[in-house]
A = this chain, B = another copy of it.
Amino acid sequence: MISRLEESPLFRIACPRHIVFFGASNNFNRMGSIMLSSIQSLGFEGPIYPVHPKEETVRGLKAYRSVMDLPEVPDLSIIVLPTELVCDALEECGQKGIKHAIVVSGGFRELGPEGEVRQERLASIAKKYEIKVLGPNCLGVANPHHKFNPTPIELEGRPGFVGLASQSGSFITQMFNYLHLHGMGFSTAFSVGNEAILDLVDCLEYLGACPKTKVITLYIEGIRRGKDFMRVARDIVGRKPIVALYVGGSDTGKKASLSHTGALSGPDEIYDAVFKQCGIIRARTLVELFDFALALGTLPPPKGNRVAIQTHSGGPGATAADACGRAGLQLPDLMPRTVERLRAYLPHTASTSNPVDLTFSKNNREYFSGIPDVLLSDDQVDMLLIYMLSPVVFIRRFLREGGIGESELERLEDTAVKELTRMMLDLPKKYRKPVVGYTFRSLQEKMTRDLLEGGIPIYPDAERAAKALAAHVRYHQIKSEFHTRHVE
């Protein structure tokens, strides 16, 4: 295992100081041009050297006829050329002394026997010159913390804590927007493609050592180095959670992934057993993958699996209770002292059993601070799940009814929401217990958005919140088991 990021073969792929780029031109309607434009638009801070057979400049950068003409040896070569030109370009990179490459171009093993031969040639060139290659048939990497995004989609949102190693490039690029909308961001994300040289295990090892990565997510269609995968995963899991999505197990998933990267998938049960033995949390869908990552990357460790549910509406309370039950979480009875203290806050029609149902919420401060504070102080309660009908809906109506004009309304609403947010963000800090919200409204509404960015996960339904809490509990059980084994 590596102890420092610098030891990883991927270090200068994820954090290059300078880049040579093959396949960009001044015609934007080409993959290479689009990818170079993404690098530029994120503001990559090192020099970029485009190689082009004819142009003097490419996208405003001085172009070179050959990699041999470059004024220095760049850390990384990015190759987005037509398939038949890839091997020659890599050969030249080797001659120049370049030690890292991302090969984006497809047309290799994923195409069958003919592509297989081509991929073998690529691998032998890489080995001859000791070039660490990511790909071919991949989108490479996105490292927002290094302002480095050579993928065809522009980065959205802030750098974050989610590491990803993926056998699908789309699950990097097409998640920029998704993660942003859900209050997350990538630390570093790798697309491994056909794994001619570097593979999923190398990425996993890198993310295990990466200080920006709080939780590792994996999208797997087939693992090639099983033993190494398990060794590396087991080493990481005691320190950092790993969540994996594997789709090759079902007949339909298998068929799809074979034609995708040519990975040979195995029976679902085998992967299930592998994940269990390594302490990897399994997600069944992409949505679960990142739902679990959000909880694992933001919440304090839970002491147990007992959840208090707070709601002002019976239906959302009952469905959350049902979802928690199905996810294996418990709904404890509240202690008598808690029930007594709650009485001060609740109308006579309310329920002080768990779920605590106010039936109608009149006082936002009590709802988002006073009542959750009482619930979190209960020793029977390990976690709080709170239903959030955005208070903005009512605040705005009240202000309008009071005759407040639209401009002033905006300001007063913001002030009210900021105060509620601040009060709610104090709760998990005060009690060191997980606090999670759920809502059926858009996550982009005021307050919900602020809470997400402040570190309280809000899920767009009770089911997803309950499953994420259950994954969080499971990981911390696994973690303590791993520690116990180490002590023995």
Contacts and interface: CB of A to CB of B under 8 A. Distances in A.
Nearest to A247: B322
Contacts of A349: 83, 106-107, 110-111, 137
A28 B353 CA distance: 30
A325 to B, nearest CB: 3
Given A253-B325, A255-B353, A313-B168, A285 B319 contact: yes
B397 A34 contact: yes
B181 A442 contact: yes
Interface in A219-275: 219, 221, 245, 247-253, 255-257, 259-261
Interface string A438-468: 0011101000000000000000011100000
B440 A37 contact: no
Q: Copies of this chain, how many?
A: 2
Interface in A321-351: 321-326, 331, 348-349, 351
A315 B253 CA distance: 10
A380 interface: no
Contacts of A325: 250-253
B253 A153 contact: no
A351 B28 CA distance: 25
B441 A322 contact: no
A175 interface: yes
Q: Could you say which of A106, A110, A171, A255 has the most chain B C-beta atoms within 10 Å of its C-beta?
A: A255
A174 B117 CA distance: 59
- Residue among A137, A253, A401 with the most chain B CB within 10 A? A253
B285 A461 contact: yes
Contacts of A245: 319
A167 interface: yes
Nearest to A309: B256
Contacts of A251: 325
A359 interface: yes
A431 interface: no
A462 B245 CA distance: 14
A221 B319 CA distance: 10
A321 B286 CA distance: 13
Contact of A315 (B171, B284, B393, B463): B171
A357 B259 contact: yes
Interface in A176-226: 177-178, 181, 219, 221
Contacts of A397: 28, 34, 37, 154
B322 A252 contact: yes
Interface string A25-54: 000110100100100000000000000000
A106 B461 CA distance: 26
A251 B286 CA distance: 29
A465 B221 CA distance: 21
A316 to B, nearest CB: 6
Given A177-B441, A259-B357, A322-B256, A107 B348 contact: yes
A253 B28 contact: no
A397 B38 CA distance: 10
Interface of A: 28-29, 31, 34, 37, 83, 106-107, 110-111, 137, 152-154, 166-171, 174-175, 177-178, 181, 219, 221, 245, 247-253, 255-257, 259-261, 284-287, 309, 313-326, 331, 348-349, 351, 353-355, 357, 359-360, 362, 389, 393, 397-398, 401-402, 440-442, 444, 461-463
Given A29-B362, A253-B325, A255-B331, 12 more contacts: A110-B349, A170-B316, A178-B440, A248-B318, A250-B326, A252-B322, A252-B325, A253-B318, A256-B357, A285-B319, A285-B323, A286-B461
13 contacts: A28-B402, A169-B314, A170-B316, A174-B316, A174-B440, A181-B441, A181-B442, A245-B319, A247-B319, A249-B322, A250-B326, A253-B322, A255-B354
